[in-house]
């Protein structure tokens, strides 16, 4: 049964960094029935409620993704908007 609402963990602030965008995209992906749920079927927390270690892991993944695509890690330090870059269309 598909949910009629978008779980809060699937949203992000437009001025947030890419780690938060990736977290929201991850939670939004897959089957609509499981959006916003972890592997146990429990709700995923919003970004602000993640433990610092988990946020650091998402940041490391975001840093690695940008490094692989040749953008270096500097866009993450001030947010992409501060670098003149846009939020990926798929995450808007």
Could you read off the pLDDT of 40-58 as tens digits, one per residue? 999 999 999 999 999 999 9
At residue 70, the pLDDT reads 64
Residue 2 covered by a domain? no
Q: How many structural domains compose the chain?
A: 1
Q: Residue 43's beta-bridge partner residues? A: 37
**Which residue, among 48, 41, 44, has the nearest Cα to 9 in the 3D structure?**
44
The percent of residues in the chain predicted with pLDDT above 90, rounded, is 43
Residue 1 covered by a domain? no
> How far apart are the C-alpha atoms of 29 and 35, rounded to whole Å?
6
> How far apart are the C-alpha atoms of 35 and 38, rounded to whole Å?
8
At residue 84, the pLDDT reads 53
What's this model's pTM, rounded to 2 decimal places?
A: 0.69
| pLDDT at 10 exceeding the cut of 60 | yes
At residue 39, the pLDDT reads 92
Residue 20 covered by a domain? yes
Residue 19 covered by a domain? yes
Residue with the bigger pLDDT between 44 and 11: it is: 44
Parent domain of 71: 8-91
Residue 86 covered by a domain? yes
């Amino acid at each position: 049964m598909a949910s009629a609402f978008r779980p809060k963990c699937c949203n992000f602030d437009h001025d947030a960094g890419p780690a938060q965008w990736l977290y929201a995209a991850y939670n939004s992906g897959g089957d609509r029935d499981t959006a916003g749920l972890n592997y146990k079927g429990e709700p995923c927390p919003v970004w602000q409620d993640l433990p610092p270690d988990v946020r650091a892991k998402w940041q490391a993944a975001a840093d690695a993704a940008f490094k692989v695509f040749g953008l270096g890690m500097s866009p993450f330090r001030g947010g992409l908007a501060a670098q003149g870059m846009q939020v990926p269309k798929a995450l808007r």
